[in-house]
Amino acid sequence: MSAIEKNTRLIKEKAKALGFLHCGISKAGFLEEEAPRLEKWLKQGFHGEMGYMENHFDKRLDPTKLVPGAKSVVSLLYNYYPENRQPEDTYKLAKYAYGKDYHFVVKDKLKALYNWIQEEIGEVEGRVFTDSAPVLEKAWAAKSGLGWVGKNANLLTKQLGSFYFISELIIDLDLISDGPTTDHCGKCTACIEACPTQAIESPKVVNGSKCISYATIELKSEIPDFFKGKMEDWMFGCDICQDVCPWNRFSKPHQEPAFAPHQAILNFNKNEWEELSQELFSEIFRKSAVKRTKFAGLERNINKIKESKQTQS
């Protein structure tokens, strides 16, 4: 067995031991096919007020601009599918936000993997990324054979569905690349039909400015009237296009204690969420990704949903 083969096997074994679902590898280089797609998406204004998406265009497409001399992109999946879910008749959070902020949890695992590589394999230059830099995560994960990009623009896998975080380790170490897998969406259009705001403009193309997740998290100003009557009780993020995906019937609950939800998330009814105080918000979401929207943002989202209901009645 060559050193490259051995290192590839060892890294994949260590990733599994750290709790990652899957690990796939691609040769670092320019994402030629993604360049025109990203450019078109930006020109159409589908990024809404997410101005940061326009920054670092070249870095998004070429990992060697993030890590000089990069040779491999190691893509990893980390499960967040919860065992218990919120009741149907309450204000809802996207399932990824139930527990501790994934940026910290997954990044700690990535750092552990990177430190292990340096200890066991030798001096390797690199960087870890968890939705925290200009990296086209889904493109790299698909290129590494971890799944395919579905019609809802999420990475899908036959065995696992799509309720997992994608992260990367970009390193200047030669490894054996995995080839891409095939697309298994077929003629299914469940996600396109289920989206209440019709944000999925065409297969694999999501107009971010029409997405409930964008409105409730990324948007810092008032939520436009376009969303009136269409938010379906989502106060932070939205899982509709994932919940209806047939492949997600294979999702299995995660085994990550840090993702265990505060009991209020599983038990609060609408009245309790409407009466939420800053103090209680800080307690429930102390280490949560929900802190991104702040108390005022969550309050704004709930009020927009209530306003929609009043208009409808």
What are the residue numbers of the active site?
131
What amino acid occupies position 34? E
Q: Are 26 and 143 in contact (CB under 8 A)?
A: yes
Q: How long is the chain?
A: 313
The C-alpha atoms of residue 191 and residue 185 are separated, in whole angstroms, by: 10
Give CA 43 to chain center in angstroms.
23
Give CA 204 to chain center in angstroms.
15
Angle at 15 between CA 12 and CA 19, to 5 degrees: 140
- How many Cβ atoms from other residues are within 10 Å of residue 284's Cβ? 16
Q: Which two tokens stand for residue 161?
A: 């569905």
Q: Which two tokens stand for residue 289?
A: 């990704």
The C-alpha atoms of residue 141 and residue 240 are separated, in whole angstroms, by: 22
The C-alpha atoms of residue 273 and residue 203 are separated, in whole angstroms, by: 35
User: Under 8 Å CB-to-CB from 263, ≥6 apart: which residues?
Assistant: none
Helix (H, G, I), strand (E, B) or coil at 201: strand
Q: Which two tokens stand for residue 36?
A: 């025109």
